[in-house]
């Protein structure tokens, strides 16, 4: 479920309030030079404030970009700061609590202070580029002064940030006595990881805070791994093979700079997500269902693997459009349908040889790629989404041919959504379980295989 922001981060704020907030936030940044740190800080702060209100970070950033008219370079700077802040929000909140008597208001002011602290409180080798601390202070004050709603607080911004620079060692030590500040997750998330994985919980939490690698899936209908690596080398891009179709870049680059991307030679897809198509054991002529298919990464990989009759199903019209865009770029075709995978209104009654069930989940396994998820999710989301996924799985099983295979995929670390879900499904449906990777974990180690935390379980229906 990589890069599925509508599914993995459900907004909880009233729609009218979110819209009004976002439109207001895009109104004043034209006062600042777009190549300034102040412009980037203010844009990132607007996005962070929207996440606090319940909006997924990609949507929040899209609203900021649309409202500010930011250049591509400015958008990159805004995005970098916003993502960095999401990965360090627990620490930033704790530092604010130590340096202020009450939570700064309005929300934009609090977000600006968190963004600024994220740039000066943490090591650049892990979280991004280094910033000169006093430049951050100066540009943060400039950003505050340019925004009428928080201009009155520019003195507070200056005082809080300068105090942090004077007392940073003591303040960091005190803040990290709070588990949420030490690990940068909500307390319930920390407890859940520790309960599920008592021997490795610290490694898992640390890995989830490290920005992920940029991994590509090479379209072997158009080229080969050696040929594509040579093409990357010609463009000065260092990369290495990390799977049968997977190439990992040593340093991320914008999608527009990936050689052959527009021509469908490669797609951005995590190495773990690239396991789905091979596990389906596809053969030409099969009838295949990709349920909950958006944005279409696995759909494309299935079609690159074999000449199959494929239905790509999703319940959201906007996300269906993304599937179409991806398949158009890859020059591949499928029947794209809008429908609820838990229902049958969309189904023509003809069973499938293979079903990919990439079911809804909390997306706790892709938190390093979508760091806002940890702050948007709630503890009871796991139980609710697991129940929905169980309904989908039972429904899809009825659509599978005898001897057919169904592949359960989640991007969750929680056993209720992964192993416990798979075990219960097998019992309910008397399904034969076949070998599959099970639970994967991010390693955040470039010297090893590095991938997101997906879960795979493969089932075969008994012949009649």
Helix (H, G, I), strand (E, B) or coil at 214: coil
63-87 CB burial, b ≥16 within 10 A, e <16? bbbebbebeeebbebbbbbbbbbbb
- CA–CA dist 60, 18 (Å, integer): 10
Both ends of the chain: CA-CA distance in Å?
Answer: 33
Pair type for strands 335-338 and 309-314: parallel
- CA–CA dist 437, 449 (Å, integer): 14
Return the residue matching tokens 């279409």. 296
- Identify whether the C-beta of residue 247 lies closer than 8 Å to the C-beta of residue 254: no
Closest CA to 70 of 51, 44, 52: 44
- CA–CA dist 193, 205 (Å, integer): 8
For residue 184, CA distances in Å to 96, 127, 239, 367 come to 14, 13, 31, 11
Helices (H), 293-380: 297-305, 317-330, 373-376
Closest CA to 195 of 415, 351, 398, 371: 415
Task: Give percent helix, percent strand, percent coil of the chain, each to the nearest 5.
Answer: 50, 15, 35
Q: Is 115 a catalytic site residue?
A: no
Q: Enumerate the β-bridge partners of residue 268.
A: 216
- Identify whether the C-beta of residue 109 lies closer than 8 Å to the C-beta of residue 150: yes
Catalogue the active-site residues: 411
């Amino acid at each position: 479920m990589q890069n599925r922001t509508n599914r993995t981060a459900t907004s909880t704020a009233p729609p009218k309030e979110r819209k009004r907030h976002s439109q207001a936030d895009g109104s004043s940044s034209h006062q600042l030079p777009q190549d300034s740190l102040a412009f980037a800080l203010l844009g990132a702060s607007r996005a962070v404030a929207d996440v606090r209100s319940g909006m997924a970070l990609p949507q929040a950033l899209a609203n900021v970009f649309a409202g500010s008219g930011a250049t591509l370079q400015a958008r990159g700077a805004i995005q970098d700061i916003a993502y960095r802040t999401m990965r360090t929000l627990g620490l930033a909140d704790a530092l604010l609590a130590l340096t202020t008597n009450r939570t700064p208001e309005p929300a934009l002011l609090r977000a600006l202070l968190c963004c600024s602290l994220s740039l000066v409180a943490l090591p650049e080798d892990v979280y991004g580029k280094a910033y000169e601390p006093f430049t951050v202070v100066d540009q943060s004050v400039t950003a505050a002064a340019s925004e009428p709603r928080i201009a009155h607080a520019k003195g507070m911004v200056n005082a809080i940030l300068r105090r942090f620079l004077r007392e940073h060692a003591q303040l960091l030590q005190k803040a990290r006595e709070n588990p949420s500040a030490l690990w940068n997750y909500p307390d319930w998330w920390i407890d859940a990881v520790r309960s599920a994985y008592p021997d490795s919980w610290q490694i898992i939490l640390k890995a989830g805070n490290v920005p992920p690698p940029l991994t590509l899936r090479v379209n072997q209908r158009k080229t080969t791994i050696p040929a594509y690596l040579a093409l990357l080398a010609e463009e000065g891009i260092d990369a290495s093979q990390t799977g049968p179709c997977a190439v990992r870049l040593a340093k991320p680059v914008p999608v527009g700079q990936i050689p052959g991307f527009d021509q469908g030679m490669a797609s951005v897809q995590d190495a773990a997500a690239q396991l789905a198509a091979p596990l389906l054991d596809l053969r030409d002529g099969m009838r295949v269902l990709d349920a909950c298919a958006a944005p279409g990464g696995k759909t494309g990989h299935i079609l690159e693997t074999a000449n199959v009759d494929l239905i790509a199903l999703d319940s959201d019209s906007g996300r269906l459009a993304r599937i179409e865009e991806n398949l158009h770029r890859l020059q591949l075709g499928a029947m794209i349908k809008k429908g609820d995978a838990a229902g049958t209104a969309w189904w023509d009654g003809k069973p499938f040889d293979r079903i990919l069930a990439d079911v809804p989940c909390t997306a706790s396994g892709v938190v390093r790629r979508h760091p806002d998820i940890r702050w948007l999710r709630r503890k009871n989301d796991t139980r609710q989404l697991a129940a929905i996924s169980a309904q989908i799985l039972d429904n899809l099983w009825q659509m599978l041919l005898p001897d057919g295979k169904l592949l359960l995929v989640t991007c969750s670390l929680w056993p209720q959504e992964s192993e416990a879900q798979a075990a219960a499904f097998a019992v309910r449906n008397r399904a034969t379980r076949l070998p599959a990777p099970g639970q994967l974990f991010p390693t955040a180690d470039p010297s090893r295989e590095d991938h997101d935390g997906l879960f795979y379980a493969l089932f075969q229906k008994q012949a009649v």
